[in-house]
């Protein structure tokens, strides 16, 4: 995570690198209208065993029970499910890599992951529940840890309107709070599968690039897993 944020900070003048990847992924067919959750469930059993299959089954029940709720209740249900059921653990322990972005299946399969994995799983779950993509962004932040230390971190933001202050879904705390109530977090940039924004910008950034990102890679794996 730390290495990723340092690299991105150095690349801010050419943030289109990320946007190009996001738009390309969208053009390649990102669509959650017809996910194959039976395949997700079957792969959980096949790859990770009964415990993972049980977690995916519970996730599917949560989705079904939340489908007709209001958006605020959907946020609470999804945030609570992942924060309570999945353990926080560093990528080096779970994946033997310094920085790995897991699909929701991989996250639930291992039963552990770091902040990006929580944010991605919550993002995809809320899309499956019909929350508009335009209201959801994953937000890279610096999280203050104590008086003098900070670290790279990712949360999920929910924007009722594009210019509104977001609600923050975070694995560090159980409750969903307005961004103004999280003065321990300093935003660096935010993104979803439609664009990328720097703090204070109302439009996504775009520059020519040929690079792909970890986000593109995780989208490809989610497609293989059956999420869209």
Identify whether 184 is part of a domain. Answer: yes
- Taking residues 216-227, report their average pLDDT: 92
Residue-range definition of the domain harbouring residue 168: 2-223
pLDDT in tens, 181-206: 999 999 998 888 888 888 776 666 53
pLDDT at 129 over 60: yes
Give residue 3's pLDDT: 52
pLDDT at 21 over 80: no
Identify whether 155 is part of a domain. Answer: yes
- Taking residues 96-102, report their average pLDDT: 95
Among residues 124, 136, 130, the alpha carbon closest in space to that of 56 is found at 124
Contact 137, 195 (CB under 8 A): no
pLDDT band (50, 70, 90) for residue 55: very high
End-to-end CA distance of the chain: 27
Among residues 169, 222, 221, 215, the alpha carbon closest in space to that of 196 is found at 215
Hey, CA dihedral for 220, 39, 121, 102, is it positive or negative?
Answer: negative
CATH number where 43 lies = 3.10.620.30
> 């497609």: which residue's tokens?
223
Identify whether 228 is part of a domain. Answer: no
* Number of structural domains the chain divides into: 1
- Bridge-based pairing of strands 112-113 and 87-88 is parallel
Identify whether 191 is part of a domain. Answer: yes
Separation of alpha carbons 107 and 113, rounded Å: 6
Q: What is the pTM of this model?
A: 0.83
Identify whether 88 is part of a domain. Answer: yes
Identify whether 47 is part of a domain. Answer: yes
Identify whether 54 is part of a domain. Answer: yes
């Amino acid at each position: 995570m730390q290495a990723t944020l340092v690299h991105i900070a150095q690349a801010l003048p050419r943030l289109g690198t990320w946007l190009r990847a996001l738009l390309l992924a969208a053009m390649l067919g990102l669509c959650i209208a017809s996910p194959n959750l039976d395949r997700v469930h079957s792969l959980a059993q096949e790859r990770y065993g009964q415990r993972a299959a049980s977690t995916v089954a519970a996730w599917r029940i949560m989705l079904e029970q939340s489908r007709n709720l209001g958006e605020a209740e959907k946020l609470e249900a999804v945030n609570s499910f992942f924060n309570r059921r999945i353990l926080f653990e560093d990528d080096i322990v779970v994946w033997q890599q310094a920085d790995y972005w897991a699909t929701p299946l991989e996250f639930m399969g291992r039963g552990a992951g770091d902040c990006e994995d929580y944010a991605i799983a919550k993002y995809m779950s809320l899309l499956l529940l019909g929350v508009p993509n335009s209201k959801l962004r994953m937000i890279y932040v610096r999280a203050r840890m104590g008086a003098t230390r900070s670290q790279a971190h990712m949360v999920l933001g929910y924007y009722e309107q594009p210019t509104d202050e977001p609600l923050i879904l975070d694995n560090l705390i159980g409750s969903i709070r307005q961004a103004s109530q999280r003065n321990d977090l300093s935003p660096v940039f935010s993104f979803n599968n439609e664009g990328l924004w720097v703090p204070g910008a109302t439009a996504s950034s775009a520059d020519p690039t040929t690079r792909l990102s970890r986000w593109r890679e995780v989208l490809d794996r989610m497609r293989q897993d059956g999420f869209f």
